[in-house]
Chains A and B, each alone.
Chain A
Amino acid sequence: MLRLPCPHCGERGVVEFRYGEIPTVPEHLVDPAARDLDRAFMRTNTEGIVIERWFHEAGCRRWITVRRDTRTDQVLEVVSRSSGQQSDRTA
């Protein structure tokens, strides 16, 4: 199972977290309706490194920002936005 190193609680299994996607609407879409549609349904679905948010629901109940490689599920970096503190734990 994917394990996330929470900067507040230590390394925990992914079942403790809730996933928070950061929607990315391409810049070239300018029509507001097209942007709304893209934000609601379309996904970049990156096969590689993504930056995403996770809510530590069953732990400290704080949001963390994670850089993860979706090809391997390797967590490259974890940042706690609330404290601005960057974790030195990398997988």
Chain B
Amino acid sequence: MNEFVERRVKLRFAEPRRAYDVVIVGGGGHGLATAYYLATRHGLTNVAVLERGYIGAGNSGRNTTVIRANYGVPATVRFYQHSLELYQRLEAETDRSIMHQKKGLLWLAHTEMGLRAEHARARINTACGSETVFVEPDEIKKICPQLDLAGAGRYPILGASYHPHGATARHDRVVWAYAEGAMNRGVDVVQRIAVNRIRTSGDRVVGVDTDQGPIDAPIVLSAAGGHVSSLCSTAGVRLPIRTHPLQAFVTNHYQGNFDAIVASTELLFYASQTARGEMLIGAEIDRQPSYSYRSSFDFLASCSGRALALLPFMANLRILRQWTGVCDMSPDYTPVMGKTGVEGLLVTTGWGTWGFKAIPAGGEAMAELVATGVTPDLIAPFAIDRFASDRTLADRGSSGTH
């Protein structure tokens, strides 16, 4: 679909009513996708999505838009693979261009340890239905000719896992496609409304308090990104979440074609080219827990150094802009989804630095949980009780940012 000829996205925002069947806190990708699937898959439209700023203003508008499923734990591989497939069909389903582009993704190894990890990744992915193969340096050079295989003498590229279905999409368009689809079916999406408190009665949820008065709802879903802990603490729910800033930057236009997405977990660095031709670079989270959106020069300096070691052509580019998001990090680098112990209060969190790719599957699964009251098998391993029952899903090496 050509973005210049498609009809304009029509977003009709609502004024809040006093009661709904379901209130979703947070108008980002996850909140809006949940509302969309509640309306389309389950016919539930007496639903409100409450957004403090404007939709997509949080991490949905600040991420690096990579879609991939090359994780290291079977449960997450299956989940992200399903999400990747939903993304592939999203344009057809919503009749909206999300500028989805299949690019292929290289996950580089610079050490013997890294090589073992990437061999293992290829096998786990294959076993769980996601396509990933191990590739040697000569194939890497064919996939991404700009890479310096010597890694500037410091980070030699010894091999990589290659994930051919790795893709990117335009993040705003994903948010708008879900928002419009939900609105057209009767969901109320309200902007500039702050939820101050979750109201409970006994051990169940009865609604939320907002800066525009109380709203009643028997089901409240927190999809508030980095701010989830403050919100859920008002209902007495403690979460295994710590909020860390994550920075990224883009350069000016690179005139060559940089087709693949390149990532190195050992260097904590990843790069892709945007539809505008900019090089988009991300790296590790800031080490201190913080809600500050301030970007730093030190991040640019250290990240650029790593970028130049792998992609020497970037020395001729200039940095155009940088930004920061605040990420809800879980201890095992795997999402936390489902029931909270307070009846009617659901969370979709722990999206850390890997939330964008999960928007379709996360929204679909949460919608099923809201509509049926039963946790879908796909997200059952991500329940919060995994920490108490010693079934954590440690997968730091797949996050790309730690």
Q: How large is the interface on A (under 10, 10 to 19, 20 to 34, 35 or more residues)?
A: 20 to 34
Which residues does chain B contribute within 8 Å of A14, judged by CB atoms?
Answer: 286-288
Does A73 count as interface, using CB distance less than 8 angstroms?
yes
Does A13 count as interface, using CB distance less than 8 angstroms?
yes
A44 touches B298 (CB 8 A): no
B298 is contacted by which of A1, A41, A72 (Cβ under 8 Å)?
A1
Residues 234-271 of B, flagged 1 when their CB comes within 8 A of A and 0 if not, give 00001111110000000000000000000000000000
Within 8 A of B (CB), among A4-52: 13-15, 19, 21, 26, 37-38, 40-45, 47, 50
Give A13 to B230 CA distance when docked, in angstroms: 28
A2 touches B288 (CB 8 A): yes
Q: Least Cβ distance of A47 to chain B in Å?
A: 4
Interface of B is mostly: loop
Which residues does chain A contribute within 8 Å of B388, judged by CB atoms?
Answer: 37
Give A13 to B291 CA distance when docked, in angstroms: 18
Does B331 count as interface, using CB distance less than 8 angstroms?
yes
Q: Least Cβ distance of A22 to chain B in Å?
A: 12
Give A71 to B243 CA distance when docked, in angstroms: 11
Give A45 to B244 CA distance when docked, in angstroms: 10
Which residues does chain B contribute within 8 Å of A15, judged by CB atoms?
Answer: 298
Which residues does chain B contribute within 8 Å of A44, judged by CB atoms?
Answer: 229, 233, 238
B227 touches A47 (CB 8 A): yes
Does B296 count as interface, using CB distance less than 8 angstroms?
yes
Within 8 A of A (CB), among B11-66: none
Does A70 count as interface, using CB distance less than 8 angstroms?
yes
Does B289 count as interface, using CB distance less than 8 angstroms?
yes
A43 is contacted by which of B227, B240, B290, B299 (Cβ under 8 Å)?
B240
Q: Least Cβ distance of B45 to chain A in Å?
A: 32
A70 touches B238 (CB 8 A): no
Which residues does chain B contribute within 8 Å of A2, judged by CB atoms?
Answer: 286, 288, 290, 292, 296
A47 touches B238 (CB 8 A): no
A38 touches B299 (CB 8 A): no
Q: Least Cβ distance of B297 to chain A in Å?
A: 7
Point out residues on B near A: beta carbons under 8 Å. Answer: 227, 229-230, 233, 238-243, 286-292, 294, 296-299, 331, 387-388
The 9 closest A-B pairs by CB, nearest first: A45-B229, A1-B296, A73-B292, A1-B298, A41-B240, A42-B238, A41-B387, A47-B230, A43-B242
